[in-house]
A and B are shown apart, each in its own frame.
Chain A
Amino acid sequence: MSKGSRNPRREMSRALSRVANATVAETLETQAELPEQVLYRIGVTGAPGAGKSTLISRLAARRVERGAKVAVVAIDPTSPVSQGSILGDRIRMDAVSDDPNIFIRSIPSRRAHDGLADNTADLLWAMEGHGFDEVIVETVGVGQAEYSVRAIVDTVVLVLLPESGDAVQAMKAGLLEMADIYVVNKADLPGAELMAGDIAATAARQAAPEINGGDGWVPPVLQTSSRDAASFAALDAAIEAHRAWRQNRIDHDAVRRARSRYQVQGLIGRRAEELLETMPDADLDRSPKEIYEALLQQLATAPGEGET
């Protein structure tokens, strides 16, 4: 345990590192109670190159103007070969890196393949209570990240590019029906208008109760361009509108339970990996059923107990 720092920013930064480096046993020690969740969580997802990082920096600047203290968690992929990573999102957030009201932390995705990092839920948990008002989570740009990010954030923003016909195809198949706000970014490129229209038609159906439990929110479809400051004001306003709507319309207990489910699933998954990594070869030579049963037995022992 490190001693407290006289720099509060460093304090939070160190707290995040402790969570990032923690074993499951150590993580659990900090999660004995349900904390009050104060941070408003905004998730920004979309394909690589869609402009998520730049959009986040513009959005964060808007939100700071309104007096919010904003933390950003930017997730980049971990190399499956070396386990290393190049965390490059913050280069695109240069414009706001100097703002004392914006904190940016780059994190590697580690073992996760769902657009988040395997400890994102724990990191968000650890960010509570450090004086920030909201956190923006940038996912790794992979296909179906919105499912997982949906579980842990309050407002999901999906960033698309004009003429990304594949995305529209995917929407038709029902894959991209999870977002609260759709953004066609780089809208100064040709095709933006058409794309926005296509999405709006699909998005309107999201509000219907028979479609993925439709909650009545009609996701707006916005067009943004880094050349047009007003377009980010519109995005900022759309997030506020969703936030206000959500406050009264969402079943907050259900949301909390869904988050707990995701978080505990992650902890169990990581714990299973810890155990499988140290399992002797002789044990791994057995049948999957036998390995599974042996693993279950070990999982039944609280992590940390009976270990050296």
Chain B
Amino acid sequence: MSLKGKRILIAKPGLDGHDVGAKIIALALRDAGADVIYTGLRKSPDYIARVAVDEDVDAVGLSMLSGSHKEIVADTVQCLEALDAADIKIFVGGTIPTDDHAGLIAAGVCGIYTAEMTIDDVLAAIDKELAA
């Protein structure tokens, strides 16, 4: 597996301030060969979408522990569309109840990676998604 040459934005939307998970994923992606851009804490979907466009990333990873993932995903999808960037993929991680998974997939998310998964499984899933 190699994510070499892939550009990935790891973003922290919403109001929770815990970015250990986001940073672990960012470092794991780098170690898998990807170029990773990290936004820092508490960014709006609009901000995230604009950074995704300027940086021309292949995917945006949203790390969310605040419970507002449904709204944030919907807004991010909309903001990317408004910038003519609907082709940029979105995956999510963090505290995402199983009951919400189907809804997020329907909203346009390509993968949901929670704490139960190993890093290697997450990387393999992202790799598969970006190779498609």
Contacts and interface: CB of A to CB of B under 8 A. Distances in A.
B40 to A, nearest CB: 5
Contacts of A162: none
Interface residues of A, number: 30
Contact of B32 (A14, A84, A87, A91): A84
A84 B35 CA distance: 5
**Size class of the contact patch on chain B:** 20 to 34
Interface stretch (A38-46, A100-108, A203-211, A232-240): A100-108
Given A6-B84, A84-B33, A13 B38 contact: no
Contact of A90 (B34, B51, B56): B51
A90 B45 CA distance: 17
Contacts of B56: 10, 13-14, 16-17, 105
A105 B84 contact: no
Nearest to B44: A98
A88 interface: yes
B120 interface: no
A78 B84 CA distance: 29
Nearest to A91: B40
Contacts of A21: 5
A97 interface: yes
Given A7-B83, A10-B85, A97-B47, A85 B55 contact: no
B70 interface: no
A17 B16 CA distance: 32
A13 B55 contact: yes
A7 B35 CA distance: 24
Main secondary structure of the interface of A (DSSP, over half): mixed
B90 interface: no
A282 to B, nearest CB: 26
B33 A83 contact: yes
Contacts of B26: 86
B53 A13 contact: yes
Given A13-B55, A106-B55, A85 B30 contact: yes
B126 interface: no
A120 to B, nearest CB: 15
Nearest to B23: A86
Nearest to B28: A84
Contact of B54 (A6, A9, A79, A81): A9
Interface in B9-60: 26-27, 29-40, 47, 50-51, 53-56
A94 to B, nearest CB: 7
A88 to B, nearest CB: 6
21 contacts: A5-B84, A9-B83, A10-B56, A10-B83, A13-B53, A13-B55, A21-B5, A81-B31, A83-B4, A84-B3, A84-B4, A84-B33, A84-B34, A84-B35, A84-B36, A90-B39, A90-B55, A91-B38, A104-B54, A105-B54, A106-B55
Interface of B: 3-5, 7, 26-27, 29-40, 47, 50-51, 53-56, 83-85
Interface of A: 5-7, 9-10, 13-14, 16-17, 21, 78-79, 81-88, 90-91, 94, 97-98, 103-106, 108
